[in-house]
Amino acid sequence: MHLKMRVLEMGGLAIDRVQRAVDALVADHDEEAHEIIASDERINAYHRSIEDEAIALIARRQPVASDLRLILAITKVALDLERIGHGGKKIARLGLELHQGLSNVPLASFYRDVRKMATIALGMVREALDSLDRQYLEGAAAVIRRDDDIDSEFHLAMRDLLTYVMEDPRWLKHAIQTVFVLKALERVGDHARNIAAAVPRLTRAEDRALVRASASNTAVS
């Protein structure tokens, strides 16, 4: 399995972690949140295996500068994906905290903003990975432009939360925890932008040949 495919597999895992964390938060599924937190090692294992393969590829092929830049770009994408996966863990933890406390907190309203942000952020990750897979420069550029969308949604959500707190200051703690969730999702969008920005470095003909040539014998449990 070549190096790029391992990165795409890792991307699927990272997306799944964030989506499950958001679903667990919205549905008050604490058991699911605990499972997400406990499974953090799997995303780390993917990252390590990709780094190990990249190091082996460098040692085996002794790549020229352009090839080395490609390998480093792929490992940078893997690092962004690892951080996306860790964002899922953070959201799961915050969800557990949000489910505690005042019973009259308008969490359904809080969650509406979370769902919007998650839809945008995870859509950006999917489009960035698809652009990487298909070496689609226009798609990557579109992901980068969407960074403004998620920033705008974050600021709108902040205004909503401020309104809720002004109505009842007792909701302040839950509002702050929701801000942390929203910020984690904004960071997911930032990592998607970084992945999209790497796509042009993976589209040169000589780079495509190197990506196809790399092979992995590492299994991830």
pLDDT tens for the chain, 221 residues long, are 478 889 999 999 999 999 999 999 999 899 999 999 998 888 999 999 999 988 888 888 777 776 787 888 899 999 999 999 999 999 999 999 888 865 677 778 888 999 999 999 999 999 999 999 988 899 999 999 999 999 999 999 999 899 988 988 888 888 999 999 999 999 999 999 999 999 987 775 434 444 444 433 333 33
pLDDT score recorded for residue 215: 32
- CATH label of the domain that carries residue 53: 1.20.58.220
pLDDT score recorded for residue 204: 58
pLDDT score recorded for residue 110: 82
Task: 65-71: list long-range contacts, CB under 8 Å, 24+ apart.
Answer: 66/204, 66/206, 66/207, 67/206, 67/207, 67/210, 69/201, 70/201, 70/202, 70/207, 70/210, 70/211, 71/3, 71/210
pLDDT score recorded for residue 218: 33
> How far is 127 from 108, CA to CA, in rounded Å?
28
The pTM (predicted TM-score) of the whole model is 0.86
pLDDT score recorded for residue 210: 44
pLDDT score recorded for residue 69: 79
- Is residue 190 one of the residues assigned to a domain? yes
The CB density around residue 99, as the number of other CB atoms within 10 Å, is: 15
- Is residue 218 one of the residues assigned to a domain? no
- Is residue 96 one of the residues assigned to a domain? yes
- Is residue 36 one of the residues assigned to a domain? yes
- Is residue 69 one of the residues assigned to a domain? yes
Its domain, for residue 21, covers 3-213
- Is residue 48 one of the residues assigned to a domain? yes
**Contact in structure between 150 and 117 (CB atoms under 8 Å):** yes
- Is residue 220 one of the residues assigned to a domain? no
Our count of domains for the chain comes to 1
- From residue 108, alpha-carbon distances to 103, 151, 200 in Å are 12, 22, 41
- Is residue 100 one of the residues assigned to a domain? yes
